[in-house]
Amino acid sequence: MKKYKILVLTALLAVFSTTSCKDEFLDVTPLGALSSAQLQNKIGVNLLLVGAYSLMDGVQAVSSFSDWQGSADNWVYGEVISDNAHKGSDSNDQPEISLIETFVHTPVLNHFRGKWRAVYDGVARANDVLQAVPNAADMSDLEKTQATAQARFLRGHYHFEAKKMFNMVPYIDEKIYNPADPASTKLSNDKDIWPNITEDLKFAYDNLPATWRGEPGRATKWAAGALLGKTYMFQGKFTEAKAVFDAIVASGQYTLMARYHDNFRAETNNNKESILEVQFSINDGAPINNNGNRGATLNYPYGGGVTTCCGFFQPSQNLVNSFKTDDKGLPLMDDFNKTDIPGLNSSTYTGTVDPRLDWTVGRQGVQFLDWGLHSSVYIRDQGYAGPFSPKKNVPYRSDVGKFTTANPRFNTNNYRMIRYSHVLLMLAECEVEIGGLERARTLINQIRTRAANTDGFVKTGTGVNSANYKIGTYDAAWTDKDVARKAVRFETRIELAMEGHRYFDLVRWNVVDKVMNDYLDVEQSKRSYLKGVKFVKGKHEYFPIPQNEILNSAKEGTATLKQNPGY
């Protein structure tokens, strides 16, 4: 299903006739307005579903919030605040993101309210579907069940996004939600909503089809299963999660793409590795390319011919160093950050690296897709955020005009929210936690074997592939649970780097305070604005509830929402 925004049309009637003074003028129904009764049929339900799907990108077409504040890829909340990336650009641009990166953020930031509004608007749209379905007389029982399953998947997804961001959040279902009564959603946030999210996703998993012919954007059984399994993992329910992931593997519907970077190209959207993608389109009639990848609109090189904006989302030195490998091609893990892979001239580093480094990070002296060699002109302010550029999801030069507008920032490159390698990583993690260490090793080796394929690097110009690539598999049996756990978590980092998952993984692993403070102790010597920055345990695991939402939750003068600890 292609992604289309529903445009709400406001009819402005200018009546200049003798009839304009009649009382009937005041009773004219606005053109373009649809009543709930008009939507209680098959066509109306599908329109409501499209509207609910459309907010999966986190961007509200008509909104006072910036496109990236609710972006589905969570590049700010999952990566910039972690050890993987910096805000980038220069010190004066988008200062709110700087406050988030340096852990001095407060509840009044628009970024948090933008994310809150995006996910709860999504919840409301899903509930609109669920309220319309029972009264749609022209829908069969199967059609009603599948529409309900899609809406409950979306409602579960949006609540999941809120839960992992803010922790204690309200759960709003179609029985509570009354669009005619704003007070109906003024609920307390004093309950753990994991059971509600699990119930929604379980219903979707049990009732959605395995595929939708010709409509890849719709949620499938396996997309619901992957998110359900992930939900179990956030609750520490590894046995339940493993059962779902095993079923996805056994389905035979997915496999790893031969080339790692085909997961980040518009040309290979909705490929055989993709389980859940946020769909984007351009030149489809929507104004100002509303349906392109607007959430990532800042995250392209500042120069170098790729775009002229904006130089954000720069990989950290710590992330770059994590791709080092030993003489067997295995990650260094404990010692990776003792010395740096230089950013100015990659050829001065003589050690070996995992080839995924140069699919993830733009660095000088190495080919940047088919745009030429990455150089200092790609960076807006190298002294501020370092010499590296984001590379995943950046369009190729050959994509321009075909998968992009004339400005490559507006493109059709989907965001792969969950792909098969992600499922294999989560399954490996489950196996480690319940004692299946050898199965976990086999799963990780599948991912590393694919990563060893360097096919696809554009080989033009000088200095191309100047790195010494070496990646191997874990050939010795895994017998120590702690060692296996470390290997799986490290693989999760480098496989999914810059994809919006890192910080949330650190929190659910309960290691975020140590990892972040160890990172900051070293990285502050390279990035002066990080000097003195500390992660505070018991506060910074979750983001603050937006202050305006707390104020707006008041009933009879008392707020129903409570702020998170420390804020």
Asked which of 437, 471, 498 is the last residue of a domain, the reply is 498
Same domain, 58 and 180: yes
Tell me the C-alpha distance between 562 and 221, whole Å.
35
Same domain, 110 and 175: yes
| Longest CA span, the chain | 90
- CATH number of the domain to which 34 belongs: 1.25.40.390
Identity of the amino acid at 137 = A
Same domain, 158 and 224: yes
User: Which pair of structure tokens corresponds to residue 467?
Assistant: 């790195």
- Report how many domains make up the chain: 2
| Cα separation of the two ends of the chain | 41
Same domain, 358 and 418: yes
* Residue 544 domain flag: no
* Residue 559 domain flag: no
Same domain, 186 and 158: yes
Determine contact, residues 379/312, Cβ cutoff 8 Å. no
Same domain, 410 and 284: yes
Same domain, 124 and 166: yes
Same domain, 259 and 180: no
Look at residues 476, 386, 442, 493 and name the one whose alpha carbon lies nearest to residue 83.
493
SS in 3 state form for 234-281?
A: HCCCHHHHHHHHHHHHHHCCCCCCCCHHHHHCHHHCCCCCEEEEECCC
Same domain, 393 and 476: yes
How confident is the prediction along the chain (567 residues), in pLDDT tens digits per residue? 544 333 332 222 232 233 333 333 334 444 455 667 788 899 999 999 999 999 999 987 666 788 899 999 999 999 999 999 999 999 999 999 999 999 999 999 999 999 999 999 999 999 999 999 999 999 999 999 999 999 999 999 999 999 999 999 999 999 999 988 989 999 999 999 999 999 999 999 999 999 998 889 999 999 999 999 999 999 999 999 999 999 999 999 999 999 999 999 999 999 999 999 999 888 777 766 678 888 888 899 998 888 878 999 999 999 999 999 999 999 999 999 999 998 765 556 778 999 999 999 999 888 899 888 888 899 999 999 999 999 998 999 898 888 888 788 888 999 999 999 999 999 999 999 999 999 999 999 999 999 998 776 544 334 434 568 899 999 999 999 999 999 999 999 999 999 999 999 999 999 999 999 999 999 999 999 999 999 999 999 999 999 999 999 999 999 999 999 999
Asked which of 498, 531, 546 is the last residue of a domain, the reply is 498
Same domain, 263 and 352: yes
User: Which pair of structure tokens corresponds to residue 532?
Assistant: 């003195």
* Residue 511 domain flag: no
* Residue 46 domain flag: yes
Same domain, 21 and 148: yes
* Residue 74 domain flag: no
Look at residues 183, 469, 476 and name the one whose alpha carbon lies nearest to residue 329.
469
Look at residues 269, 472, 245 and name the one whose alpha carbon lies nearest to residue 355.
472
> Which residues form the domain of 22?
1-64+106-236
Tell me the C-alpha distance between 155 and 148, whole Å.
10
- Residues with Cβ within 8 Å of 304's Cβ and at least 6 positions away in sequence, in order, are 368, 371, 372, 374, 375, 377, 378
Tell me the C-alpha distance between 102 and 98, whole Å.
6
* Residue 521 domain flag: no
Tell me the C-alpha distance between 119 and 128, whole Å.
14
- Residues with Cβ within 8 Å of 52's Cβ and at least 6 positions away in sequence, in order, are 122, 125, 126, 128, 129, 150, 151, 154
Residues forming a β-bridge with 411: 404
* Residue 335 domain flag: yes
Asked which of 473, 498, 523 is the last residue of a domain, the reply is 498
Look at residues 152, 139, 169, 119 and name the one whose alpha carbon lies nearest to residue 223.
152
Same domain, 140 and 283: no
